[in-house]
Amino acid sequence: MPERLKPLLHANRQWAASMEQRSPGFFTRLAQQQNPRYMWIGCADSRVPANEITGLDQDEVFVHRNVANVVVHSDLSALSTTIQLAVEHLKVEHAAMIFSSPPQFGQCSMSRSNTRLSSLAQLSRTGR
C-alpha cells in the first residue's frame, strides 16, 4: 500500500471503532439490511456529507452524488441503477434532489457564468 494512503486506512479504522463504541452492533445491523427512508441526490462536493448535514445516520439515507446534481434521461447510472434500486428494492419513502453547495462553489458558479465551458461543465449546465 502506498505510504500516502496509510493515514486514510488508519482514520477509517478509528472511525469504525468510534461508531461501534457510540452504537454497539452498528455494523452488524448495517450488514443485515439496508432500509433507508430517504434518497438524496446531491452534488459530489466532498465538503458536503449528506448524512451529517441532515442529522441522519449512514443507514438512514441512500445517496447518489454527481456533478452539479444533474439527472438526465440518458444517465443510466442514476436512473436505471441508483433510483430504481432506491425505489423498487430499498422502498425509500422520500427522494430529494438537494443543492447542498453554496452558490459560489464549483459547478453552481460555473453554470451561471457566460464563460466558455468544457464539455463536462456543459453537461452540468443542464441542472441549471
Q: Quick one: cell of 88?
A: 423498487
pTM over 0.75: no
* Exposure class string for 76-100: b at 16+ Cβ within 10 A, else e: eebeeebbeebeeebebeeeeeeeb
At 43, is the secondary structure helix, strand, or coil?
Answer: strand
User: pLDDT digits over 74-121, tens only?
Assistant: 777 777 788 888 888 899 998 876 655 555 555 444 445 554 544 444
Tell me: do 51 and 90 sit in the same domain: yes
Tell me: do 95 and 50 sit in the same domain: yes
Q: Quick one: cell of 71?
A: 439527472
Tell me: do 24 and 48 sit in the same domain: no
Structural domain of 43? 35-127
